[in-house]
A and B are shown apart, each in its own frame.
Chain A
Amino acid sequence: MNDHKLIFVGSPGVGKTTAIRSVSDHPPVSTEVPSTDETRDTTVALDFGELTLADDDVLRLYGVPGQERFEFIWPLIADGAMGMVVLVDNSLPGALETLDGYLRSFDDFIGRVPAVVAVTRLRDGVGPALSDYVAHLARRNLDLPVVAMDPRERDDVLYLVNMIVAMIDVPVAA
């Protein structure tokens, strides 16, 4: 049995905690507290869930707090990750620039471990289309899968997780 660490990064409210909750075998460890900025609760340390795969391998799922002030904890949580999901909220203005920020913060992972861009709150005619994300990444010489995901839907999250697992198993050419 092997275990693999997968981390979820992205802005506050994008759906990291929800995505991990949707697929975790057990109720995840969560560290949500009332936010002083908004009515929603916000993660201040980490999310942690586990997902057992078909071959008894275990995926350890970690979510980071999205706000930049928690940047200190990002490398601590990301250490040893074998895959990364970058979530982007398509309903917020500046979604592509927000994505750039996270790509920069985690640039020593992206390119080294499999990463997928998961676009949440995708609606026709609002914000960039998936193809805009692909083109945007291509301009940065990044060839990452871009998928739409509703973090509340277990199947959506499983689809994405399976995609990354497949990428982990295939040795990445140096």
Chain B
Amino acid sequence: MQAASARQAPLEMFFPDEASRVACAGAIRRMMESVPGSYAAALATIDGKPVIHVAPSDWRHARVAAIVGSLCALGETLGKEVNQRACRNVLIETESGLTVVQRLPSPAERLILLTTSNREANLGVLLTYSRTCAAAIARLAARPG
């Protein structure tokens, strides 16, 4: 059971049928259309593997997914270390934009959504639609194993 899923690519593991994959990509596109300035989004596993993305062609997806996995774990670890509970997201603010990294809600807590935007985006709008998108994808994802 475990061994069978181990050989599966993460995309097939979490979205076994074509319809759920299309719906997942659709949820990501809708989120991006709702957030002015949004220019990329990616789904990764919590152990740092790429699942699906809508992103510029020069993105190195394997690296982005690995960094997302590390960052999410560090965000949650730091949150606990400073006596906070239930990390909601890790927010990166740069001179040129905003990036939000968040774990999906149950039953897809083994997936992480990254959404990123340029300076045009409003933080509240980005956070709102990122959360909605994360919840929508969680409803589509299969529980692995």
Contact = CB atoms under 8 A, between A and B. Distances in A.
20 contacts: A29-B77, A34-B46, A34-B110, A36-B5, A36-B6, A36-B10, A36-B45, A36-B49, A36-B110, A36-B144, A38-B6, A44-B47, A44-B48, A44-B69, A44-B73, A45-B73, A45-B77, A65-B48, A69-B49, A73-B66
B65 interface: yes
A131 interface: no
B98 to A, nearest CB: 21
B62 A69 contact: yes
A132 to B, nearest CB: 30
Contacts of A45: 69-71, 73-74, 77
B85 to A, nearest CB: 18
Contacts of A39: 2
Given A36-B10, A44-B46, A70 B110 contact: no
Contact of B77 (A31, A35, A42, A69): A31
Contact of B66 (A31, A34, A35, A69): A69
B45 A70 contact: no
Interface in A8-37: 29-37
Interface of B: 2, 5-6, 10, 13, 45-49, 62-63, 65-67, 69-74, 77, 81, 110, 144
B48 A69 contact: yes
Nearest to B8: A36
Contact of B47 (A29, A34, A72, A73): A34
A45 B47 CA distance: 9
A162 interface: no
A69 B67 CA distance: 9
A65 B70 CA distance: 9
Contact of A36 (B13, B73, B77): B13
B14 to A, nearest CB: 9
B69 to A, nearest CB: 5
Interface of A: 29-39, 42, 44-46, 65, 67, 69-70, 72-73
B77 A70 contact: no
Contacts of A34: 46-47, 110
The 7 residue pairs across chains A and B that have the minimum distance between CB atoms: A31-B73, A45-B70, A69-B66, A33-B46, A44-B69, A45-B73, A44-B73
Contacts of B72: 44
B47 A33 contact: yes
A86 B115 CA distance: 36
B2 A70 contact: no
A37 B144 CA distance: 11
A70 B81 contact: no
Given A45-B70, A70-B66, A29 B48 contact: no
Contacts of B77: 29-31, 45
B22 to A, nearest CB: 22
A35 B47 contact: yes
Nearest to B50: A69
